[in-house]
Structure 1
Amino acid sequence: MAGTEKAEATEGTSAALDVIEHQTAVLVRNFELFYRRTDIHDTLDRAEYLLLRTLAGGGPQDINSLAAALGLDPSTAGRQVAALRAQGLVARSPAPTDRRRSIVTPTAEGLRRMEEVRARRAESLAGLLDGWTEE
């Protein structure tokens, strides 16, 4: 690529990234407004929902795997699991190969509540995004 063509390509990429960054900020803001205007968080808070959704999608996991999947410190994931366990939404059992590790499994009630929130979120997000073009 000649110098001028490269500069134009870089400017085009920068302009596209600027649009993406701005639209992402608008989308995140709309998600925050959506969250505040609904009672979905009364069923499960965001952290509870995300942890249960991760377990539902990835199956039973140990704390370190959950922490890695969620981008959390293992101690934070452990506290979240303890809170969910106290509500009866997850169960912990010793790992079959290493009894020092615990495997976290969602309970039927945990999966039911997660699915309820997932469905309500999907419905609300569909309304939020209604009218958006593919562009």
Structure 2
Amino acid sequence: MTDAQHPRAAAGTELPEPGPPSEPDGTTCDAIDTVEFQTAVLMRNLEMLCRRGELHQEVDRAGYLLLRTLIARGPSDIGGLAAALGLDPSTTGRQVLAAERAGHLTRSPDGADRRRSVLTITGSGAAAVRAVCERRRERTAALLSGWSEQDLRLLSEMVSRYNRAIAEEFLETDPPGGAS
């Protein structure tokens, strides 16, 4: 779709810049500027998709990543989950409590240290994650339907690499969901 064909252009609304602004001297920004700007746009777009969609009916966004991490890593304690998710234990504890109340995970005493609890995903939790994952995959496939297989593979490699770089800098353990 060209800019002239875009619905907002037809209504007389100016389209946003497709990339970061140019430097004051009129030259284009370097690759790091573009990545920084496009990451900000991506974050905004992902928030918009979440607000406008019904992806998270069975489990909320925070719970989805928590449960995906439990699936990938197996039973864990709150401290291990917090480290994997890059969250503090109190935030993780609140997410665990919500998932536990929804019946998506169980808590049992650790055999080696009864002060610790081991968290395990339930069958209904796994089913909820599968339902959300399937809707997310369908939406992603629709958004990227015109992309070649080669472009999809390149995007997946680059996003995975970007997430690994963030995880290496900020997480104490492997990335959530086994994305290493």
Compute the TM-score of the two structures, normalised by the length of structure 2.
0.62
Find the counterpart in structure 1 of residue 41 from structure 2.
Answer: 26
Find the counterpart in structure 2 of residue 42 from structure 1.
Answer: 57
Find the counterpart in structure 2 of residue 9 from structure 1.
Answer: none
| 1:75-106 Cα deviation digits (max 9, x unpaired) | 11112111111111100011121111100000
CA distance in 2, matches of 1:68, 1:54: 11
2:109 to 74, 80, 94: 94
1:85 to 100, 103, 114: 100
SS at match of 1:92: strand
- C-alpha spacing 1:49/1:32, structure 2 compared with 1 (3 Å): same
Question: Once the two structures are aligned, what percentage of the paired residues are identical?
Answer: 53
| 1:34-55 Cα deviation digits (max 9, x unpaired) | 1122111222111111111110
2:77 to 40, 49, 62: 62
CA distance in 2, matches of 1:68, 1:125: 28
Work out the number of aligned pairs and report it: 122
SS at match of 2:87: coil
Q: Write 1 or 2 for the structure with the bigger share of helix.
A: 1
**Residue 56 of structure 2 corresponds to residue 52 of structure 1:** no
Find the counterpart in structure 2 of residue 3 from structure 1.
Answer: none
Whether contact under 8 Å (2:82, 2:89) holds in the other structure is: yes
One-letter identity of the residue aligned with 1:70: L
SS at match of 2:30: helix
**Residue 89 of structure 2 corresponds to residue 74 of structure 1:** yes
| 1:6-45 Cα deviation digits (max 9, x unpaired) | xxxxxxxx70101111222222222122112211122211
Whether contact under 8 Å (2:68, 2:129) holds in the other structure is: yes
Q: Structure 1: which 5+ runs fail to align? A: 1-13
Find the counterpart in structure 2 of residue 122 from structure 1.
Answer: 137
